[in-house]
Amino acid sequence: MATTTIKPAGRIVVETRGLKKTYFGKVATPVLHGIDITIRQGEFVAIIGQSGSGKSTLLNILGALDVPTEGQVLIDGVDIATLSEDGLAALRNRVVGFVFQFHYLLDELTCLENVLTPITIGKGEASTEETARAIGLLDRVGLGDQLPKHPDTMSGGQNQRCAIIRALANQPKLVLADEPTGNLDSRSGDEVFNIMREMNRENGVAFIMVTHDDRLAQEADRILMIEDGWCIRWTSPSTGENSSAG
């Protein structure tokens, strides 16, 4: 199968060429089959498909959390196969932000300290300017009064908003979101999605979101349908254009 992608203007942030992934155990289990995709600066892409179709595996590889069995993955122009473990960690910290279904905030840290974690991991201490920027972003998403609070004293929606700002703390070029609204009620989920969309549009950060919520997927610039590890179809909701794999 081959996929024809719709390529909008903008700098390429992440690209795959013939991406394949197989997990080896007692039985070899192929998960992804020759995926070719290109995501550019400022895009908001939704990945949809049935459970077990390979969506989360693809997302992990796009974020350099996993490596392909075959093919190439280029993040910000760098082939991840050429990097050591330390190099991969540095690339993730510099280029990629992550938002998951469960916020994975650290209970021993405050809301603000959690947001600054990517910066402190990378350089040991956040600057006054970086801290001020984080506070401004938290205030922007309605968490200005939550800075000293810990995750276990905040609501699920507040924690997920905090996790989004944490993903943006290092001013990444790409944010990967794996079912970011899946653990929230519909109202909180809509709020979280709207925040991601606003940050995408205003800061030019590329977002790739795995979701089972077709309603939210329709708000993306492009939708990628994955089926049994194959890239089946690209859809552009705003134009109604489809590009199917044959």
The structural domain count of the chain equals: 1
Tell me the CATH number at 49. Answer: 3.40.50.300
Tens of pLDDT, residue by residue over 203-231, are: 889 999 999 888 999 999 999 999 988 88
Task: Check pLDDT > 50 for residue 3.
Answer: no
Helix (H, G, I), strand (E, B) or coil at 15: strand
Do the domain assignments include residue 152? no
Does residue 125 form part of some domain?
Answer: no
Determine, yes or no, domain membership for 5: no
Q: Is residue 133 situated within a structural domain? A: no
How many degrees, rounded to 5, is the angle at CA 97 between CA 47 and CA 124? 165
Distance of alpha carbon 218 from alpha carbon 214, whole angstroms: 6
Q: Which residue has the tokens 């991406």?
A: 19
pLDDT above 70 for 244: no
Q: Cα separation of 181 and 165, whole Å?
A: 15
pLDDT of residue 237: 80
Task: Write out pLDDT tens, residues 21-67.
Answer: 999 988 898 999 999 999 999 999 999 988 888 898 999 999 999 88
Query: Is 127 part of any domain?
Result: no
User: Looking at the domain assignment, is residue 216 inside a domain?
Assistant: yes
Q: Could you list the residue range(s) of the whole structural domain that residue 216 is in?
A: 12-106+172-244
* Domain presence at residue 156: no
Q: Give the pLDDT confidence of 75-124 residue by residue, as tens digits.
A: 999 999 999 999 999 899 889 999 887 788 999 999 999 999 989 987 78
**122 found inside a domain:** no
Per residue, the 3-state secondary structure of 45-60, as one string, reads EEEECCCCCCHHHHHH
Tell which residue, 127, 123, 65, 130, has the closest CA to residue 96: 65
- Give the pLDDT of residue 180: 85
Compute the mean pLDDT over every residue in the chain, rounded to the nearest whole number.
87
**Span 119-174, pLDDT tens digits:** 998 778 889 999 999 999 999 889 999 999 999 999 988 998 899 999 988 889 99
